[in-house]
Structure 1
Amino acid sequence: MVKVDKKPKTLQVSSLFTNVKYEIPIYQRNYAWEEKQIEQLIEDIHSSKGTYFLGTLIVNQKEADVYEVIDGQQRLTTLYLLEKYLKIDILKGSLYFEAREKSNRTLSIIGTEEINDVLEELQSEELIRGYKIIEGYFLSEKIDPVSFREKLNHVQLIRIQVPKNIDLNHYFEIMNTRGEQLEFHEIVKAKLLSQLSTNEDKKAGSILWDACSNMDSYVQMNFDLNTRRNLFSDDWSGIHSEVYDFDKVRGIIGNGDHVTTGTKTLLEILTDKQPTNKGRGSHMEENERFESIISFPHFILQVNKAISKAEENESMLDDKNFLKSLELNWENEEKSKAFLYNLLKCRVLFDKYILKREFVGDYKETGKWSLQRLESYKDRGYLKPKYVGTFGGEDDTKNKQLRLLQSCLRITYTSPKTMHWISLVLTSLMNDENGNILEILEKYCNHKVRESKYENASGFHFERIVFTYLDYLIYRDGYSYEGKQIIFPLKDDWQFHFRNSIEHFYPQNPIDVDPSTRWNLEDLNGFGNLALITISGNSKFSNLPPNGKVTSYPNIIKQSLKLKIMREMMHINGGVWNQAISDTHKREMFCLLQGGGSNGLF
């Protein structure tokens, strides 16, 4: 009989895989973390001081030193890849997937020379991508692996054993819908509500908070229909003009039909057999259709920064300072009520003017960038929601331009603590909803580009905003070379990808090239020879010559408008890409950046 550890156990991350094995059961999805989650994990560890708790790992003990992972497998797998990159000794087979041979083969050879001996189609693309993201981030951010390994000695996880005879399938389902434990944002909720003097105020505050916390649907849809009619304007697109403070909100919410959700302990979650519903009411389709670009805790920090009208202070958006940053809001009842009202006001503005990912139609699986507002319409006498472009139709020029500009910022500043542009927009809209946020964000990007001192940079020292904002400017204004229009302004449906890898169009280590013809380092690392693409795209390009890249991987070329220009310049010059053409391209791109303000269209 296996002796089961019933008490939560503190584990040191640096020795997480030395003497135990973790099995990822077949019912769990494949490894799916992308750049934003992986980079955030690395950054959290890198910026930590002293002992740092990374969260919990929920397991079911199968044998003496074998644990089935119930919750936390994405983080656990990332830590495994991270330790492989850092060359930390890992017990062979210490992490494995049930009935997934390709994944297990990749885990065993990743980070070693053996990987070159295994065909690419026999490797797990998801795990290889995750490893490349880790490798790329360490290089781009110049993180010292030795000092990072030392930090891992002070990073800990809490391993929790599920209760005996628990229904694991049921548990896994609810952990992925509502199984969130007491976190800082719930503490903030309790602090704010504790300042309210009446039960009616507390109830209304709790309902308002819970409605705002569901970030993956438009906030209007998180209230019952009666409340929605009275709380929002006739078309539901904004808060009613007569609802200007918390007391007005309470008067409306108090007449609604709500079921609030309270914080549950781990045991309550595990033993609760009631059916779950991700949303409120019957709006599962909205929850499945949209995805917010930030979580609710980070939204709270954005609201706090917006109403504080603070300058770009990274500590205000850093969740390590979560409670300290917010504590002024529960000094008294007046401030608590003001924050709760501003939370709702900012949520409405956020949903209307900040882009989301939308999973619908051809983008049901991959998602696309979406900038839409919610409106009501009548169908057989009933009001129903519809989503239209925030500024006119979804293809309206201004809507398309602002959507692209925001996605440029989203893919550049992937860590929530660096997304100051969101609070900048919220502050402006709270003062005047008719403010020109396109102009505000263009000025912000211009400032960031100038601040990067790109004119004196080289190679991997160019900051991502230089590449991404340049692509935005090319999309906005178009581009022609030697009289030929290469990019037409605001013409096609081009979208930003999450890109983090600087690509040398003429490769750093060209294959089968006479050493005397190789480029010098200044030209090789010059801006004219560089583009920003995905890590997987960079891996495929490898050391192919420019013609080989263009011919073999046309879809990767499309990731960057700058790269599309480089391709066309090469074609116009008879298939040649040399130092002179690269230098011409650099000078022209720098001219675009130096004049990259508003083009006065709006």
Structure 2
Amino acid sequence: MKLTPSEIVNGKHFYTIPIYQRLFEWATDNVITLLDDLRGKFISSNGQDDYFIGMLTSTDNNELIDGQQRFTVMMLMGCVFQKYHNGWKEFLKANDKIRLFFTSRPLDNEYMRGLIEQMASADLNITNDKMKDAIKCIQEYMEKNVDEAKEFVTYVFNHLCFFITTLPKGYSPRDLNRYFERMNTTGRNLEQHEILKVKLLSNLAQDVDKYISLWNKLSDVDTLLIKKRENESEEQLRQRKNQAFQKKIDEILVSDIINGLGVSKDEKKETIGSVKASNERPKREQEINKDSRCALTFPYLLLHALYCFLEGDIKDSIEDFFKPSNFLDTFAKYLPYDADANEDNIKSFLNILYKARLALDICFIRPTEFGYILDMGVSEDVNGLKDLMMYQSLLYVSSSNYTNYRWFGWLIDAIEKAKNKIPDALELFRDMKSRDEELRKLPKLEDLSYGNDIRYWFWKLDFLIWQKREELFKKDSDALAVAENYVFRRNRSIEHIAPQTPETDSTMVWEGTDEDRALRDSFGNLVMISQGLNSALRNSSYEIKKAHA
């Protein structure tokens, strides 16, 4: 729901800041930046265009879970602006009820009331230093721009916009706490992708609330979009996943395919007493997806979806396109969201974003603490599933934020080739492996040497050993067990097994001949290990290094 101060007054909305939220923390620099931005939009649009301050999140009883800092600064601006426009007086207080209430903070409530009612007084019995500094900053700003003060505060009253999204009814205190903790571990008050959400979705003419709800689901990349419901069979779950791929985003908005989006009788709030006792093992899906995470963070997922939307036709270098510091500039350049915004293009991008998120959930590995899982809704014994999981693991560890677009594009292409259904595991494995091998040709033997960028070929060798493990190792041997349980890691330190200059006695000692130097730096005498292990071994003897490797 989109709101302005005037719409808050007309809608008779009141809000509460819960006790677990932090106190007002904005510095005067933040306040001045906001005022400058507002004034800039006021001047450039001749007072006609909206200015979006961001996204707020509340519970169904109007407790602000996210956005309390921005709402508080609106209250502080209102304390100053009421001098120039009576609408702000109604925004601050209606029927003696303050618009914003601080739970279990009587001093803050008293101070806010004092600011509203005694604005002319310089001395209040109670002070809040951050609020006091902000008020002074706003007063001084208005005094410098007094000629246009009335028109400016009228503009802010009618055009300072924010979207407010309401968490589903029935959110328990535990759910709220988990949501709040996750929100506060980001390290910043407002992520760039949250700013992008407001800028993009503000261009949609209809169903903005529904798109916001879906965006919020997509942004929580570590929670699966489609999870097994009560009494849903594995086959029904797989059918629902296929339906999700086949439907367009506008159909998804009005369906209950995605968990938590529509109304499903299987997702109603349960109590402890309603959970039936069972002697059966936990559901397989719950086991394999526990504590897994998405292979991409949401900002990078957005950039990869944009790259697919553009079909790779970009004017920047790959490094500049995927650089995090360029995030908003990249979107502004390739998917305009201000004056040149195109609603159809934005919807097309959102459709690709939705399909891409599904693809990562269902058709690509999800890292866990101990390795990787891949849940395509089929038995673990299905032909090609294990091969696919291992090869995707190889692609994942051997890629970076600037090269993930390769396997990501192959994955999206394969799903389109499967006519927007979950592709066959064996076919997907063969397709991704073929495209990877077409991209990376085996170098000459002399180029597979120390000092060259050969990390990929260590991982590729590991995959080939795993794939041929039953041919290479004896049945029930320790070596076969190691190969069976192999997990790809992002080890990046290349080390000589027979060291260049061993510190201790070693049966392998190199001479200074050209032949020895070539052998010493050859692929056969190299191993890729973690940086920590490399530091620990240093120039240990051949025997010690071989034992660790």
| Candidates 166, 184, 196, aligned match of 2:192 | 184
Superposition deviation, residue 180 in structure 1: 4.6
Moved more, 519-528 or 505-514: 505-514
Deviations 1:381-434 (A, max 9, x none): xxxxxxxxx5531x5552221111111122222335545212321232134243
Q: For residue 93 of structure 1, what is the aligned residue in structure 2?
A: none
Closer/same/farther in 2, CA of residues 340 and 172 from structure 1, 3 Å limit:
closer
Q: For residue 310 of structure 1, what is the aligned residue in structure 2?
A: 312
Superposition deviation, residue 452 in structure 1: 6.1
| Candidates 486, 497, 522, aligned match of 2:489 | 497
Deviations 1:194-236 (A, max 9, x none): 22112xx1011111110111111211259xx79xx9xx97546
The answer to whether 1:440 aligns with 2:431 is yes
What does 1:576-587 correspond to in 2, within 5 Å?
none
What does 1:334-345 correspond to in 2, within 5 Å?
334-345=344-355
What does 1:394-433 correspond to in 2, within 5 Å?
396=382, 398-415=384-401, 417-432=403-418, 433=421
Q: For residue 371 of structure 2, what is the aligned residue in structure 1?
A: 368
Closer/same/farther in 2, CA of residues 391 and 487 from structure 1, 3 Å limit:
farther
Instruction: Give the conservation status (yes or no) of the 8 Å contact 1:445–1:465.
Output: no
- Give the gaps of 5 or more residues in structure 2: 1-24, 31-128, 133-176, 263-284
Q: For residue 253 of structure 2, what is the aligned residue in structure 1?
A: 250
Instruction: Give the conservation status (yes or no) of the 8 Å contact 1:452–1:463.
Output: no
Q: Which amino acid aligns with 2:449?
A: S
Q: For residue 327 of structure 2, what is the aligned residue in structure 1?
A: 322
The answer to whether 1:392 aligns with 2:379 is yes
Distance (whole Å) between structure 2 residues aligned to residue 502 and residue 255 of structure 1:
45
Q: For residue 450 of structure 1, what is the aligned residue in structure 2?
A: 441
Distance (whole Å) between structure 2 residues aligned to residue 171 and residue 335 of structure 1:
31
SS at match of 2:384: helix
Q: For residue 566 of structure 1, what is the aligned residue in structure 2?
A: none
SS at match of 2:431: helix
Distance (whole Å) between structure 1 residues aligned to residue 257 and residue 471 of structure 2:
61
Q: Which amino acid aligns with 2:323?
A: D
The answer to whether 1:205 aligns with 2:211 is yes
Closer/same/farther in 2, CA of residues 192 and 173 from structure 1, 3 Å limit:
closer
Deviations 1:269-305 (A, max 9, x none): xxxxxxxxxxxxxx99999621122100101112222
Q: Which amino acid aligns with 1:420?
A: R
Superposition deviation, residue 456 in structure 1: 2.2
The answer to whether 1:526 aligns with 2:532 is no
Q: For residue 463 of structure 2, what is the aligned residue in structure 1?
A: 472
SS at match of 1:510: coil
What does 1:223-372 correspond to in 2, within 5 Å?
235=238, 237-238=240-241, 240=243, 244-252=247-255, 289-310=291-312, 314-315=318-319, 316-327=321-332, 328-329=334-335, 331-358=341-368, 366-372=369-375
Distance (whole Å) between structure 1 residues aligned to residue 329 and residue 297 of structure 2:
19
Distance (whole Å) between structure 1 residues aligned to residue 534 and residue 403 of structure 2:
27
Instruction: Give the conservation status (yes or no) of the 8 Å contact 1:204–1:253.
Output: no
Distance (whole Å) between structure 1 residues aligned to residue 509 and residue 185 of structure 2:
58
TM-score normalised by structure 2 residue count = 0.52
Cα-Cα RMSD: 4.7
Distance (whole Å) between structure 2 residues aligned to residue 176 and residue 284 of structure 1:
26
Q: For residue 584 of structure 1, what is the aligned residue in structure 2?
A: none
Distance (whole Å) between structure 2 residues aligned to residue 369 and residue 332 of structure 1:
39
Closer/same/farther in 2, CA of residues 240 and 289 from structure 1, 3 Å limit:
same
Deviations 1:115-145 (A, max 9, x none): xxxxxxxxxxxxxxxxxxxxxxxxxxxxxxx
Q: For residue 225 of structure 2, what is the aligned residue in structure 1?
A: 219
Q: For residue 508 of structure 1, what is the aligned residue in structure 2?
A: 500
Distance (whole Å) between structure 1 residues aligned to residue 385 and residue 378 of structure 2:
5
Closer/same/farther in 2, CA of residues 357 and 5 from structure 1, 3 Å limit:
closer
Closer/same/farther in 2, CA of residues 454 and 466 from structure 1, 3 Å limit:
farther
Moved more, 484-493 or 438-447: 484-493
Q: For residue 268 of structure 1, what is the aligned residue in structure 2?
A: none
Instruction: Give the conservation status (yes or no) of the 8 Å contact 2:519–2:525.
Output: yes
Deviations 1:12-47 (A, max 9, x none): xxxxxxxxxxxxxxxxxxxxxxxxxxxxxxxxxxxx
Superposition deviation, residue 517 in structure 1: 4.5
SS at match of 2:527: strand
Moved more, 425-434 or 311-320: 311-320
Instruction: Give the conservation status (yes or no) of the 8 Å contact 1:505–1:530.
Output: yes
Instruction: Give the conservation status (yes or no) of the 8 Å contact 2:365–2:389.
Output: yes
Instruction: Give the conservation status (yes or no) of the 8 Å contact 1:233–1:239.
Output: no
Q: For residue 56 of structure 1, what is the aligned residue in structure 2?
A: none
Size of the alignment, in residue pairs? 341
Superposition deviation, residue 500 in structure 1: 0.5
| Candidates 549, 554, 559, aligned match of 2:545 | 549
Amino-acid identity (%)? 23
Q: Which amino acid aligns with 2:250?
A: D
Distance (whole Å) between structure 2 residues aligned to residue 220 and residue 171 of structure 1:
19
SS at match of 1:507: coil
Distance (whole Å) between structure 2 residues aligned to residue 488 and residue 421 of structure 1:
29
SS at match of 1:252: coil
Distance (whole Å) between structure 2 residues aligned to residue 182 and residue 321 of structure 1:
16
Instruction: Give the conservation status (yes or no) of the 8 Å contact 1:467–1:531.
Output: yes
Deviations 1:331-366 (A, max 9, x none): 4222222222222222112111111123xxxxxxx3
What does 1:151-190 correspond to in 2, within 5 Å?
173=181, 176-177=184-185, 180-190=188-198
TM-score normalised by structure 1 residue count = 0.48
Superposition deviation, residue 471 in structure 1: 1.2
Distance (whole Å) between structure 2 residues aligned to residue 444 and residue 254 of structure 1:
32
Distance (whole Å) between structure 2 residues aligned to residue 398 and residue 333 of structure 1:
41
Instruction: Give the conservation status (yes or no) of the 8 Å contact 1:353–1:371.
Output: yes
Closer/same/farther in 2, CA of residues 419 and 507 from structure 1, 3 Å limit:
farther
| Candidates 184, 187, 196, aligned match of 2:204 | 196
Distance (whole Å) between structure 2 residues aligned to residue 237 and residue 501 of structure 1:
44
Q: Which amino acid aligns with 1:197?
A: A
Distance (whole Å) between structure 1 residues aligned to residue 308 and residue 529 of structure 2:
33
Q: Which amino acid aligns with 1:304?
A: L
Q: Which amino acid aligns with 1:211?
A: K
Closer/same/farther in 2, CA of residues 516 and 411 from structure 1, 3 Å limit:
closer
- Give the gaps of 5 or more residues in structure 1: 10-160, 260-282, 359-365, 374-389, 558-602
Instruction: Give the conservation status (yes or no) of the 8 Å contact 1:391–1:398.
Output: no
Superposition deviation, residue 314 in structure 1: 2.0
Distance (whole Å) between structure 1 residues aligned to residue 184 and residue 447 of structure 2:
48
Closer/same/farther in 2, CA of residues 454 and 190 from structure 1, 3 Å limit:
farther
Distance (whole Å) between structure 2 residues aligned to residue 255 and residue 350 of structure 1:
15
Instruction: Give the conservation status (yes or no) of the 8 Å contact 2:240–2:257.
Output: no
Instruction: Give the conservation status (yes or no) of the 8 Å contact 1:501–1:534.
Output: yes
Distance (whole Å) between structure 2 residues aligned to residue 286 and residue 438 of structure 1:
20
